[in-house]
């Protein structure tokens, strides 16, 4: 870089050629494919690095300066193309993202309920998660309504204690 600043064209060529693959990697990692955009950004960044090289201070690290230019170019790119995510796929993306959260929440609940007695776990699952009424839960488990209520109560207390103990 410093030799390029001194007006050495061959050194500048070598520098920009060495930076191109680094920048390509930098943008590709952050933009998930979108090949044309990545190459456009690489070129824009190289132009900026070349034309604005006066803003590089020779006493400071060069890579920090170069990547700061690249980061600015990427932010500017996102700002310009705000509708970056195609609208038709949006629903799928949202569903997929929600699924992950829901799945991991379900696993957490299963792990927790596995730690208390099966009768309490079943009562909690039916009345609190599946949305059954006390009467329906009592009928399906073949126990009295009072028993369901007590199981739920004791089960929740046991869960709370387990969570506090963690």
Q: Please, where are the H alpha helices in the chain?
A: 2-5, 9-31, 35-51, 62-80, 87-113, 118-124, 134-141, 145-165
Residue 117 Cβ vs other proteins, minimum distance, rounded to whole Å:
56
Q: Residue 69 interacts with other proteins (CB under 8 A)?
A: yes
Among 25, 30, 35, 50, binds other proteins (CB under 8 A): 50
Q: How far apart are alpha carbons 5 and 9 in whole angstroms?
A: 9
Residue 123 tokens, joined = 């009562």
Q: How far apart are alpha carbons 48 and 35 in whole angstroms?
A: 20
Q: Residue 27 interacts with other proteins (CB under 8 A)?
A: no
DSSP line for 52-100: TGGG--TTS-HHHHHHHHHHHHHHHHHHHT---S-HHHHHHHHHHHHHH
Q: Residue 81 interacts with other proteins (CB under 8 A)?
A: no
Q: Residue 51 interacts with other proteins (CB under 8 A)?
A: yes
Among 54, 95, 111, 163, binds other proteins (CB under 8 A): 54
Residue 43 Cβ vs other proteins, minimum distance, rounded to whole Å:
5
Q: Residue 74 interacts with other proteins (CB under 8 A)?
A: no
Among 25, 35, 52, 160, binds other proteins (CB under 8 A): 52
What residues make contact with other proteins under the rule CB under 8 A? Answer: 4-10, 12-13, 16-17, 20, 39, 42-43, 46-48, 50-58, 60, 64-65, 67-69, 71-72, 76
């Amino acid at each position: 870089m410093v030799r390029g600043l001194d007006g050495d064209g061959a050194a500048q060529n070598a520098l920009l050629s060495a930076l191109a693959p680094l920048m390509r990697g930098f943008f590709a990692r952050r933009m998930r494919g979108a090949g044309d955009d990545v190459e456009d950004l690489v070129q824009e960044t190289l132009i900026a690095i070349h034309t604005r090289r006066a803003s590089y201070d020779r006493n400071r690290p060069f890579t920090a300066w170069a990547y700061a230019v690249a980061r600015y170019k990427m932010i500017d790119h996102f700002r310009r193309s705000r509708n970056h995510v195609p609208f038709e796929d949006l629903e799928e993306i949202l569903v997929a993202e929600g699924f992950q959260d829901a799945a991991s929440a379900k696993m957490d609940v299963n792990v927790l309920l596995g730690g208390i007695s099966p009768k309490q776990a079943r009562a909690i699952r039916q009345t609190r998660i599946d949305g059954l009424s006390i009467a329906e839960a009592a009928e399906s488990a073949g126990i009295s309504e009072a028993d369901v209520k007590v199981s739920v109560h004791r089960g929740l207390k046991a869960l709370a204690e387990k969570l506090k103990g963690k």
